[in-house]
Structure 1
């Protein structure tokens, strides 16, 4: 276990209690200077660590700090996952894809407090400020999923929707194929990326990245998304350990709904929570764009639409934008 992870786990186990730099150094078998540098780096990354001369270090009490130790107690199968929790990163998907290319196993999870270059579908930026949301990616090898790759984003959407309901008790809807909406505003997005093994022509791995706006950020949302972005909780609302609980809940629901025996139930929830039924949308598939009316989502997770020319089409992929 690396020094950063060891320090964070020790602080989490003793949350609210002061631990001297000397005691930490002895416990972890490193120098006091190493502890000092590590604490400075963690603080710079946004971790709420207090430091007082003569007393040592501690995690601030009452803060919703993401940590492996905070996530694991809520997992149904904690041994199925390997976590790497970080402060500020470029992109959790980017980090995990690099780890996947170097042989990381199914169940590897990268979690960040914030992202500097978080991405959504079609290269869009996903606003990821510190201390306010959940940004994580998990890795799947081909033997870890039994559903067609093109419906994995929909399954992830159901898992995310259920995780939000379980953790915060907030009703939400799904905008095909994998955005989560509350009161007409987008609170979560999912980016699924896969890589092909060129020698076999099969999937080498799939990375599913999930970003969720939970708390109201101190700084307003950027102008370009201010009319559509929202948060799960209202202003000044918080839930102790809420972010850790949400990550665990989503992973638990993912395991449940991605199982072949529960796909029909997953499809039912996906259809029932659609926010697009009866709406007029613009559809983009590759270079093709057209307007259509949404009829429903079907049992195959497809979006059934009727074009202006009266043609019915079943969409398995693409982008839809509300009028």
Structure 2
């Protein structure tokens, strides 16, 4: 069984959840559920308890149970015309969703495929930096099979950044910003990191697979962040209850992404990326080949390079080799 396949075994817990979710306004007694599923009332009671431990919520009424909207990642709520339900994999815990996507690519998984986890033990960003991954946020990676040359590939990281930023603006009613090249900022602090990787087929000279991974902080109390990132990291809704379920937000992000992707070669996404830039017009510092440079970020090219004007020259920075070490505060 490859990484894209799921067991066809359905537990009593899953059957109970399916019945209740499919009729959210209906009250089901324990007896009715037991009769419908051909199990004991005790099995129904245990299933409800297990589901509640997993984060699902139900209204307990004198005459039975009723399903309430629950912020639990669920494959049946994530499938769409862009990413079929059968191409979605969900784990409670994983080392990283990027690794899951790479393994699925090697196993011949159908694409596009989406890999999600409630928490990661080894998530990382650019240059291998560790990524804080507490439970209850969004950690996901999208696997694509573009079969294009490197020159033909769209700027996936930039495109994904725009898709996420648009979704954040819609659900928070605030204005997010993008720090070149792959970080989304809200209220001056990082709220999301994006990482893209590509693998090539040397024999045909094309990119075979692309993986786009992202970690998005949805609801984390500011005091919960580690000391080393507390002053520069945030979440969409702080420690408050989000007004949108994660399943809905994930769908919105990928809906934005595929709409932008299907609109190519239209460059609207690049215009939006530049408009949301966290760095254009600011003084930035970076290190290249052991030398530290300081200059003004002037523009972002059509190929995603950041053009910085120093006191002596104009330098174009590639996202794959350079990380900004400092940005002038507004």
Q: With structure 2 as the length reference, what TM-score do the two structures score?
A: 0.78
Q: Pick closer, same or farther for the CA change 1:140–1:287 going to 2, 3 Å.
A: farther
Q: How does 1:104-143 map to 2 (within 5 A)?
A: 104-131=109-136, 133-143=137-147
- 1:65 deviates by 1.4
Higher fraction of helix: 1
Q: How does 1:141-156 map to 2 (within 5 A)?
A: 141-143=145-147, 148-149=152-153, 151-156=155-160
Q: Pick closer, same or farther for the CA change 1:253–1:290 going to 2, 3 Å.
A: same
CA RMSD of aligned residues (A): 3.8
Matched position secondary structure for 1:111? strand
Provide the residue aligned with 1:83 in structure 2: 88
- 1:27 deviates by 5.6
The answer to whether the aligner puts 1:244 opposite 2:247 as a matched pair is yes
Contact 2:223 / 2:230 at 8 angstroms: preserved in 1? no
Contact 1:282 / 1:290 at 8 angstroms: preserved in 2? yes
Structure 1 CA distance for aligned equivalents of residues 65 and 122 of structure 2? 30
Q: Pick closer, same or farther for the CA change 1:221–1:141 going to 2, 3 Å.
A: same
Unaligned runs of 5+ residues in structure 1 are none
Provide the residue aligned with 1:66 in structure 2: 73
Provide the residue aligned with 1:185 in structure 2: 189
The answer to whether the aligner puts 1:103 opposite 2:108 as a matched pair is yes
- 1:122 deviates by 0.9
Q: How does 1:169-318 map to 2 (within 5 A)?
A: 169-217=173-221, 220-241=224-245, 243-259=246-262, 261=264, 263-285=266-288, 289-308=292-311, 310-317=312-319, 318=322
Q: Pick closer, same or farther for the CA change 1:258–1:119 going to 2, 3 Å.
A: same
**Structure number with bigger Rg:** 2
- 1:84 deviates by 1.4
Structure 2 CA distance for aligned equivalents of residues 315 and 28 of structure 1? 64
Deviations 1:196-252 (A, max 9, x none): 2244343221110011111124861011111111111244242142x1111111111
- 1:136 deviates by 0.8
Q: Pick closer, same or farther for the CA change 1:7–1:229 going to 2, 3 Å.
A: same
Q: Pick closer, same or farther for the CA change 1:218–1:280 going to 2, 3 Å.
A: closer
- 1:266 deviates by 0.6
Structure 2 CA distance for aligned equivalents of residues 190 and 22 of structure 1? 47
Structure 2 CA distance for aligned equivalents of residues 281 and 28 of structure 1? 66
Structure 1 CA distance for aligned equivalents of residues 66 and 203 of structure 2? 50
Deviations 1:63-119 (A, max 9, x none): 3111122223xx454548721122222211111110111001221101122212211
Structure 2 CA distance for aligned equivalents of residues 24 and 321 of structure 1? 61
Q: How does 1:35-74 map to 2 (within 5 A)?
A: 47-48=55-56, 61-72=68-79
Provide the residue aligned with 1:158 in structure 2: 162
Structure 2 CA distance for aligned equivalents of residues 83 and 273 of structure 1? 30
Contact 2:75 / 2:88 at 8 angstroms: preserved in 1? yes
Q: Pick closer, same or farther for the CA change 1:79–1:62 going to 2, 3 Å.
A: closer
Structure 2 CA distance for aligned equivalents of residues 229 and 27 of structure 1? 47
Moved more, 225-234 or 289-298: 289-298
Structure 1 CA distance for aligned equivalents of residues 127 and 10 of structure 2? 34
Matched position secondary structure for 1:224? coil
Moved more, 180-189 or 214-223: 214-223
Unaligned runs of 5+ residues in structure 2 are 1-5
Q: With structure 1 as the length reference, what TM-score do the two structures score?
A: 0.79
Deviations 1:247-297 (A, max 9, x none): 111111111212353541111001100010222222245766432221122
- 1:150 deviates by 7.1
- 1:320 deviates by 1.4
Contact 2:75 / 2:89 at 8 angstroms: preserved in 1? yes
